[in-house]
Structure 1
């Protein structure tokens, strides 16, 4: 699942992860987030509906990363007049900058599960002191080989506990209908 894999998915319009709007759990959380100037990262952002939501709600410092050139070109066109959004065609694991909030929406489930511990460590390194990792994770296994890759809360805790304090790590109560009962909402704070 390298850059060419994701690029081919975008070119073939094989984007089954795309729900067509910002994830309600993320929107609900960010509506309450007071710092509109916070540096926010959305990795593996796809169509970046969450970024649209953030813009409409006054956020002014948003970075979007995707590894697929087609996704990035689409975003550059979509947000061409937006000064509050920076768009990068990059690998999350090679990105170097710092943020106050990292929003997780379908990226964790897209990477190979052997990279999950590295994901947690990288998230820690990308966040400022007391930075937040928040979003949704699948809390189920899938019948076919991924992506998406599933998992369990118990498994995920092993990755995140060394780097984060758990503020919320529970069943997501505002999942989209097709994901009801199969997601966790996470709000983690950098140690």
Structure 2
């Protein structure tokens, strides 16, 4: 898979982000992440956050003592 294939898949999502069509953005961390943190998460671990977007999960994890690695395919984040 070449760079163009990755870029082509990302383009529709980036366009939606730039147009403000972010229905997936709850304005808060994911409930699944909050459940995971309550069950067996170990502070200090490294955590990759794909699709970091506005950073709700990144902020929560950092506040709880995790080494966070945010990643977003969009070149223009709000």
Please report the TM-score for the alignment, with normalisation by the length of structure 1: 0.33
RMSD of the alignment, in Å? 1.7
Gaps of 5+ in 2: 1-7
Matches within 5 A, 1:34-183: 34=42, 36-59=43-66, 61-71=67-77, 74=78
Distance 1:25 1:3, change over 3 A: closer
Q: Work out which structure has the larger RCO, using CA pairs closer than 8 Å and 6 or more positions apart in sequence.
A: 2
Q: Paired residue for 2:11?
A: 4
Q: Paired residue for 2:5?
A: none
C-alpha separation in 2, matches of 1:25 and 1:3: 24
Q: Is the CA contact 1:27–1:50 (under 8 Å) kept in the aligned structure 2? A: no
After TM superposition, give the deviation of residue 8 of structure 1 in Å. Answer: 1.1
Gaps of 5+ in 1: 75-191
C-alpha separation in 1, matches of 2:29 and 2:75: 21
Judging by fraction of residues, say which structure has more helix: 2
Please report the TM-score for the alignment, with normalisation by the length of structure 2: 0.73
Judging by fraction of residues, say which structure has more strand: 1
**Structure possessing the higher radius of gyration over alpha carbons:** 1
In structure 2, the residue corresponding to 1:18 is in which secondary structure?
Answer: coil
